[in-house]
Amino acid sequence: QKEVEQDPGPLSVPEGAIVSLNCTYSNSAFQYFMWYRQYSRKGPELLMYTYSSGNKEDGRFTAQVDKSSKYISLFIRDSQPSDSATYLCAMEAAGNKLTFGGGTRVLVKP
Amino acid sequence: DAGVTQSPTHLIKTRGQQVTLRCSPISGHKSVSWYQQVLGQGPQFIFQYYEKEERGRGNFPDRFSARQFPNYSSELNVNALLLGDSALYLCASSFLAGTGELFFGEGSRLTVL
């Protein structure tokens, strides 16, 4: 079993819809939680960074962390075709490496 | 401000050869990490360096090595290349080690034939 599980998709939504992404994890030592966006053949771009449980909002993006359920989510409101990309969740225990999910491919159709 | 820069962007090698990949972190960042991303998968941790010292190593064979220079730039070396080493090699930098807020470069795409 992988430490971080993420549905590979693709997740197809119409423009303007809410995109809902999630990851589950097994390592209770994780305390930093991140979401990255990766366009094809590009490096990952940091979208959201949260520490421990709770919600964080930044523009159209909302990240949620539920440590009791070992579950994190990312919501994208008013989705745009430019949001079409692969979204990677990543987690870190106190230390030195990120553990990534496999990524979810998102397609926002005009 | 310049982000994380990596070179070369693309390269093709044959099995058994050696490759060196280079990374310059964001100005002021002292930590550099290397990740391998195989097509269709998430990145996997290879190394982290902070203040020129190795802080962590992932589950990769000894054919993989790295170093960090006094100006905080870094090199990743891979010896005796195998077909399975074909991947996107990503460098990430952060101001501190162990905070999770990593900023990635565009990567070096290695193809081993």
Q: Do A88 and B45 touch (CB under 8 A)?
A: no
Q: What is the mean pLDDT of chain B?
A: 94
What's the confidence (pLDDT) of residue A13?
96
Task: Note the pLDDT tens digit of each residue in A61-101.
Answer: 999 999 999 999 999 999 999 999 999 999 988 666 899 99
Q: Do residues A91 and A67 touch, judged by C-beta distance below 8 A? A: no
B-chain residues near A105 (CB < 8 A): none
Q: What is the mean pLDDT of residues B16-31?
A: 96
Looking at the predicted structure, is the pLDDT value of residue B1 above 70? no
Task: Note the pLDDT tens digit of each residue in B51-102.
Answer: 899 998 999 999 999 999 999 999 999 999 999 999 999 999 988 776 668 8
Q: Do residues A56 and A63 touch, judged by C-beta distance below 8 A? A: yes
Q: Do B104 and A44 touch (CB under 8 A)?
A: yes
Q: Do residues B69 and B52 touch, judged by C-beta distance below 8 A? A: yes
Sequence-separated contacts (24+) of A20-24 with Cβ below 8 Å: A20/A73, A20/A74, A20/A75, A21/A73, A21/A74, A21/A75, A21/A76, A21/A87, A21/A89, A21/A104, A21/A106, A22/A71, A22/A72, A22/A73, A22/A74, A23/A71, A23/A72, A23/A73, A23/A89, A23/A91, A23/A101, A24/A70, A24/A71
What's the confidence (pLDDT) of residue A96?
63
Residue partners of A63: CB distance under 8 A and separation at least 6: A33, A35, A48, A50, A55, A56, A57, A72, A73, A74, A75
Q: What is the dihedral of CA A47, B33, B77, B15, to 10 degrees?
A: -40
* Contact A40/B at CB under 8 A: no
Task: Note the pLDDT tens digit of each residue in A23-46.
Answer: 999 999 998 999 999 999 899 999
Kind and range of the H or E run holding A62: strand A61-66
Interface of A with B in 50-89 (CB under 8 A): 51, 88
Residue partners of B62: CB distance under 8 A and separation at least 6: none
What's the confidence (pLDDT) of residue B99?
65
Q: Do B98 and A45 touch (CB under 8 A)?
A: no
What's the confidence (pLDDT) of residue A52?
75
Beta-strand relationship, B74-78 and B103-104 = unpaired
B-chain residues near A43 (CB < 8 A): 4, 90, 104-107
Looking at the predicted structure, is the pLDDT value of residue A2 above 90? no
Q: How far is CA A25 from the centre of its chain?
A: 12
A-chain residues near B98 (CB < 8 A): 92, 94-96
* Contact B103/A at CB under 8 A: yes
* Contact A99/B at CB under 8 A: yes
What's the confidence (pLDDT) of residue A100?
96
Q: With bands split at pLDDT 50, 70 and 90, how would you rate the model's confidence at A53?
A: confident
